[in-house]
Structure 1
């Protein structure tokens, strides 16, 4: 009965999070890098960079779900968490906006490879269902939010664990992973649209400076929320977390 209650809590949280976003969708305001904003050669370039990470992540995700089907609800929760947070948009740079990413939680739980798949699917659903972002720019958005962000979060979390600071590691991973996403987005916009005076560097400083105004407080808030969700999981998903701990040891 207790195990069933934990599964019901996980399913309810994942389902409710998804419903809130779908049922209360607002008009899009250039979520991520919007459709058609990047020149075609750069859009293709970022697709080519992102696809290998997605392919490897898909293999890792398939292996986990096949060997540990009891983790499927937790995977769904991580995806829903990222979907909800990354849909909370604040218009920022022309052609893009600031928002939390929600990738830190999934990275801490399952690692960066799985989060690449979840983050890419989140971006795909938002582009198709909510008109946030776009299909041509999906490669660029996935590389920044679903590849670089999770890998930065993974490195920060791993370093924190070596010093025995798990909660601080979770906060730092979610916060810095979110910030890293926007540094990469700034680079993507800068190399596609270099400034007439100062070139790519001047353009990057402009984009990153504008993003920082909204992204810094958003990233800190995301870090705090991720820690709260982790605390909730420790109460209601103890068996799943134990399975993940053993899985990580075996890997």
Structure 2
């Protein structure tokens, strides 16, 4: 049933246009030029292997199951919309939902790495949110760490017998929080505290992020459950083509 999927994608695109195009003085995660070039390069090198594996995985998925294109568009739109809703936080950064947990549960973490990177690149080039030099660091936190935490936690929850809705909620919420834990760590490595070092800087960055990020993460978890229930109710046939990749209903 493709009409519900089309309706969700259209709604996400509309909300994205309304909210994401508003000017903002804050960058998405870490802004252009904020990291020293050495750290920017290190995060690029750490991020690229995941991205190339994700490209290969997505290419294989598209060839084997072309029916999932609309679901890919939905996961991308979901990430676009949530990551566009920014709240100013630590200097040179911002706080916002990520939306990566949803796509990670649909397609796995490697495919979500590509989707998340596309979102970050689009916003860096067209909306001046984030940047190209810091894309590796931003993508590593949002498109690598977040999706892998979401998928790993979801599998663990299912093995422990936790209900489907609670598993989806926890996976989406922790993907969001893990992204900002990673961002805090990246900032702490680049800008250690003069007295307490990296650990002290990490606690400072993480505590400031937590003020806005914890409620945002809870909200994102609830919203992900709502969208997932909608898909399960009206578009189960589309979800069935991902049966080999899904562990949700087993």
Q: So what's the TM-score if we normalise by structure 2?
A: 0.94
CA distance in 2, matches of 1:170, 1:113: 18
1:130 Cα offset (Å): 1.2
Matched, 1:85 2:82: yes
Matched, 1:135 2:150: no
Greater Cα offset, 156-165 or 106-115: 156-165
CA distance in 2, matches of 1:164, 1:23: 37
CA distance in 2, matches of 1:19, 1:104: 21
Of 185, 188, 209, the match for 2:186: 188
On the 8 A contact 2:67/2:241 being kept in 1, the answer is no
Greater Cα offset, 110-119 or 157-166: 157-166
Aligned to 2:106: 109
> What does 1:23-172 correspond to in 2, within 5 Å?
23-24=18-19, 25-28=21-24, 29-162=26-159, 163-172=161-170
- Structure having greater relative contact order (Cα 8 Å, sep ≥ 6): 2
Long gaps (5+) in structure 1: 1-5
Aligned to 1:22: 17
Matched, 1:202 2:193: no
1:246 Cα offset (Å): 3.5
Long gaps (5+) in structure 2: none
RMSD (CA atoms): 1.3
CA distance in 2, matches of 1:241, 1:78: 13
CA distance in 1, matches of 2:157, 2:187: 32
CA distance in 1, matches of 2:246, 2:100: 18
Q: Number of matched residues?
A: 244
Q: So what's the TM-score if we normalise by structure 1?
A: 0.94
- CA-to-aligned-CA distance 1:138-195 (integer Å, 9 cap, x gap): 0000000000000010111001111152111100000011100000000000010011
> Which of structure 1's runs of 4+ aligned residues deviate more than 3 A?
246-249
